[in-house]
Amino acid sequence: MNRTTPQRRSSSRRQTSVPSTPPREPQTIPQSWALARTSSTPVDIQPSLGREAEEGEYLDRQDGDGGSPIEDSQTGASLGQETDGNSSTPATHNSPLPRQRPHLTAQNPTPGYELAPITPELARWIRLRSQNLKLRQSDRQWAVDLVNHLRDSLLVFLKNSDEQPYFQSASVLNSGSYYEMVKIHNPNEFDMMLKLQSPSRLKMTELDQYHGLFYEVALSRPTRAHIRSFLLEDGLTISASKIIREMHRLVRKFISTYKVPGNSWRWVVKRKRPNSPAVTLSLLELDNGKEELLSVDVVPALEVPSSQSWPLAARAGPDVNNWLGKKTRRSLTHQTCFFVPKKPPGRNLSEAAKESWRISFSHIEKELIKTHGNKRTCCESSATKCCRKQCFKLLKCLIEGLKKRYPQELDALCSYHGKTVFLHTLSIRAQDSLWTPHHLPACFMHLLGALEGHARSGLLPHFFVPTSNLFAAPTFPRKALVFLTEALEEQRRQGLPLLMPPAPAPPLAVHSPSNSQSQPSIVVQQTHVIQSTIIQPPKVIETKASVKMFNILALVVALVCVVCYLCPSVVGR
């Protein structure tokens, strides 16, 4: 039977007991095993791209998250009993748990599972890769101007559109990794939540088998407001499919007359992706319209009135008491939440599931990552910097590399899994002293160990809906989970080859030249899980370049000598 969320604010959220975790001392080489938990904080309703630029930090979305919290949040099964500590493969959690937050702590390592020491060379590579992930200022400003202009023009179009009055009051809430300042590689993907208002209180009915992530959303009473065009036959239930269809139609009409500043590019609406709540726009050049320069996902999001409490399944999370404090948690849980028109994955869905909405806390996730410190002074000056965001960006980079190398085996993996592990880890390793920039390599290996531990146990609770397991089948198949566990272990043992920066020179040959026996050759490590090439450090590349220059110079000298010997008369002149 479906459970209907009570509409009156309950005091149960304030009485939720939170398991405490003892503080940990910083270590140069921590034993990083699986960690986890839950977290969040306040939000900026509509931050401007320009304001983000002024703050001096820019950062991804992948997976079409790229990583967007709207796109990537996976459906999970409810959490079950603990796994056997001696198991080397992920366990499946399917049995239901009561509506409470599971107590998550560092997991004990399984036999034969030792964390390799962080060598000076590996630490140097981690620091170098972290620096290479920063976005260039010129790229940021160019993307900022175009996306800001698109956003403002779209809002003006909707406000002046008489054919669909319900969208006239819409506003934009920026979300995704760029606005969280954890974007990697290029500022080429953006997410916008188009906030839609409800004329009355909402009745949120949790759908069975989806463990607090998917809901049937209806008005509490009949209405004559403009939203009635998007109601089902009962006159109360809000249709997710009608909202997304109208959103596509309006955006297509807007783009047909919109001109990009500079007259060198054009926006096009991409074909709707199956089970996606987003209307995706791609920026192409006018002359050569094949290469995508920018991508923007516009997602309609139904805002829950601020007078209503969160659904029952979300009231146990987020667990930020030891990290940000009880006062911050109270302010978080009193904020609104959103529903995006996304139905559960799978076939043979019920009629209610076909018109269902998925709950979203992306605005709180953004604020948690931006204001991440245990103390409010964290990252306010160079003296109080931490390495939390750098660790998250490195983890995103590794996940992206794994997905590119194994697109079929790790199709279920997305950046949202990495974000969830990151938030759990922050709530456990709460002290700022554990995240000093000096300890970046050790902190990243700790975060990597947390992801590997969650994959090994088959248990990754959703940060805001802790009874939902993001690593549960069928959303994350057991076969894929086993593959992910082995791939992460292999990456760790091999020295993170997928994380190493690309060499500035053309691709190097796998076999070293026969005439340079003393030169280090490219090491190829192969196992049953990973077959990767370890790129040589810059010093080796510079050495090869010097040898080549010396050989060329020697050849020139030899040719001059030959000419002098064969043509002495020419030399005499």
Place of tokens 């559960």: 344
Tell me if 367 sits within 8 A of 423, measured CB to CB.
no
Partnered with residue 360 across adjacent β-strands are: 338
Alpha helices (H) in 334-439, listed in sequence order: 351-354, 362-370, 388-405, 415-428
* Residue 293 clears pLDDT 60, i.e. is over it: yes
* Residue 545 clears pLDDT 70, i.e. is over it: no
Burial of residue 568 (number of CB atoms within 10 Å: 0-12, 13-18, 19+): exposed
Helix (H) or strand (E) holding 190: strand 189-196
User: Which whole number is the average pLDDT over 26-55?
Assistant: 35
Instruction: Output the 3-class SS for 70-137.
Output: HHHCCCCEECCCCCCCCCCCCCCCCCCCCCCCCCCCCCCCCCCCCCCCCCHHHHHHHHHHHHHCCCCH
* Residue 105 clears pLDDT 60, i.e. is over it: no
**pLDDT digits 0-9 by tens, 491-515:** 999 999 998 765 443 332 333 333 3
Q: What whole-number distance in Å separates Cα of residue 262 and Cα of residue 496?
A: 43
* Residue 172 clears pLDDT 50, i.e. is over it: yes
Q: Chain-wide mean pLDDT for the chain?
A: 74
User: Which whole number is the average pLDDT over 301-309?
Assistant: 92
**pLDDT digits 0-9 by tens, 118-159:** 899 899 989 988 887 776 666 677 887 888 899 999 999 999
User: Which of 72-81, 324-333, 406-415, 549-558 is least confident?
Assistant: 72-81
Burial of residue 469 (number of CB atoms within 10 Å: 0-12, 13-18, 19+): buried
Type of residue found at 62: Q
Type of residue found at 527: T
Q: What is the pLDDT of residue 233?
A: 94
The domains of the chain are located at 25-73+83-498, 542-573
Tell me if 39 sits within 8 A of 323, measured CB to CB.
yes
Fold that domain 25-73+83-498 belongs to in CATH? Beta Polymerase; domain 2 (3.30.460)
Q: What is the pLDDT of residue 175?
A: 66
* Residue 103 clears pLDDT 70, i.e. is over it: no
Q: What is the pLDDT of residue 73?
A: 41
Type of residue found at 415: S
> For residue 138, how far is the Cα from the chain centroid?
23
* Residue 93 clears pLDDT 70, i.e. is over it: no
Q: What is the pLDDT of residue 557?
A: 78
Q: Which of 417, 355, 357, 359 is nearest to 392 (CA)?
A: 417
* Residue 85 clears pLDDT 60, i.e. is over it: no
Q: What is the pLDDT of residue 96?
A: 43
